[in-house]
């Protein structure tokens, strides 16, 4: 099947600190993946593994250090951002940060439709808005003239999805779209992505640290660790028969919907993080129960095992 998005050998290096003490972090490290039309692809991994950075590059918000992105057969570059990102829309983690608290939400919808010349007059605009709101289970009547704080987090996230649909995108990039939504409502919102894929044929790049929702919603999944894609394949295989030692560990330590736990993990990881970025071989070598000498010396090869890509020496006959 033709590819909608092709991310090829993408890398992003951030330089931190001052001239005297430079720290270079390869936030995205030679990552390649693709997304097919009407496919839901998840990128998962713990905090700081580079998910958002990869998404921001695809969205044209951030420039890659190296690598290419092809969307709809068109190659992205610095000055050709506009048509390259055409058809791509983003949905962010915090819906309350997406909307200005002093503006009514319908304002944003009219503005988008007029700016993109998608509606000739107010009546046509209302029709389009209503149609998009219906896709997410809302209606114009319950939405018109209201301010962001008059909605729950779940409702507002539905509204931001409807807004993303206004331009009839072919790819939605949803970065942790449910992590700030009430746990009881998460599945219903994740379900929306499935429904939209079926109804509108839209593809979704679903970014999350939550393997349970990733398993439920996505067709394929890529597991990231310290900027590297360590395992990628059909979600059923990757999560039910994980091959990479890191995927196995991640699966066992699913940070279930408990934000306090997530913070604790992030804090302890921070100490390890710097050391892991500097590793010359496999970034996971320091924590891997199956570590071998070669893992500390050279970057592991990417190997296909039964439709699944695994970046690990264990599968290279060592």
Ligand X SMILES: Nc1ncnc2c1ncn2[C@@H]1O[C@H](COP(=O)(O)OP(=O)(O)OP(=O)(O)O)[C@@H](O)[C@H]1O
Binding site for ligand X (CB under 6 A): 14, 16, 25, 27, 45, 47-53, 209
Least Cβ distance, residue 173 to Mg ion (angstroms): 12
CB closer to ligand X out of 49 and 171: 49
208 binds, among ligand X, Mg ion, none (CB under 5 to 8 A by kind): none
Binding partner of residue 1 among Mg ion, ligand X, none, CB under 5 to 8 Å per kind? none
Shortest Å distance, C-beta 35 to ligand X: 18
Q: At what angle do helices 183-200 and 122-135 cross, to 10 degrees?
A: 120
Cβ neighbours of residue 37 closer than 8 Å, sequence gap 6 or more: 1, 2, 4, 170, 201, 203
CB atoms within 10 A of CB 23: 12
Residue with Cβ nearer Mg ion (52 or 89)? 52
* CB atoms inside a 10 Å sphere around CB 301: 11
Pairing of strands 66-71, 5-16: antiparallel
| Contact yes or no for 125/163 (Cβ under 8 A) | no
In the complex, least distance from residue 222 CB atom to ligand X, rounded to whole angstroms: 12
Cβ atoms < 10 Å from Cβ of 15: 9
What does 179 bind: Mg ion, ligand X, none (CB cut-off 5 to 8 Å by kind)?
Answer: none
| Binds 50: which of ligand X, Mg ion, none (CB < 5-8 Å by kind) | ligand X
Nearer to ligand X, 51 or 132 (CB): 51
Q: How far is the CB of 210 from ligand X (least distance, A)?
A: 10
Which of ligand X, Mg ion, none does 72 bind, CB closer than 5 to 8 A by kind? none
- Separation of first and last alpha carbons in the chain: 34
- When asked if residue 157 is in the footprint of Mg ion (CB under 5 A), the reply is no
Q: How far is the CB of 96 from ligand X (least distance, A)?
A: 17
CA dihedral over 95, 37, 254, 31, signed as positive or negative: negative
52 touches Mg ion (CB under 5 A): yes
């Amino acid at each position: 099947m033709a590819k909608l998005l092709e991310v090829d050998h993408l890398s992003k290096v951030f330089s931190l600190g001052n001239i005297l003490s430079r720290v270079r972090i390869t936030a995205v490290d030679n990552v390649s993946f693709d997304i097919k039309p009407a496919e839901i692809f998840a990128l998962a991994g713990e905090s700081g593994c580079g998910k958002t950075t990869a998404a921001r590059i695809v969205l044209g918000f951030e420039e890659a250090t190296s690598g290419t992105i092809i969307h709809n057969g068109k190659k992205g570059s610095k000055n050709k951002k506009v048509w390259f990102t055409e058809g791509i829309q983003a949905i962010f983690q915090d819906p309350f940060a997406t909307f200005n608290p002093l503006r009514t939400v319908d304002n944003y919808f009219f503005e988008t439709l007029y700016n993109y010349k998608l509606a000739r007059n107010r009546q046509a605009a209302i029709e389009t808005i209503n149609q998009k709101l219906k896709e997410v289970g809302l209606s114009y009547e319950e939405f018109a003239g209201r301010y962001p704080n008059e909605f729950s987090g779940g409702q507002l996230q539905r509204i931001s999805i409807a807004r993303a649909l206004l331009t009839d995108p072919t790819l939605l990039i949803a970065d942790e779209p449910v992590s700030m939504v009430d746990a009881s409502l998460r599945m219903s919102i994740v379900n929306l992505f499935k429904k939209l894929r079926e109804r509108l044929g839209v593809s979704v790049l679903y970014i999350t640290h939550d393997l349970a929702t990733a398993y439920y919603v996505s067709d394929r999944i890529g597991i990231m660790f310290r900027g590297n894609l360590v395992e990628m394949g059909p979600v059923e295989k990757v999560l039910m028969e994980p091959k990479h030692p890191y995927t196995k560990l991640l699966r066992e330590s699913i940070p279930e919907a408990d934000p306090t736990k997530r913070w604790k993990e992030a804090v302890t990881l921070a100490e390890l993080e710097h050391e892991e970025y500097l590793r010359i071989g496999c970034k996971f070598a320091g924590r891997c129960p199956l570590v071998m000498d070669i893992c500390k010396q050279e970057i592991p090869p990417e190997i296909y095992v039964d439709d699944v890509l695994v970046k690990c020496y264990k599968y290279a006959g060592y």
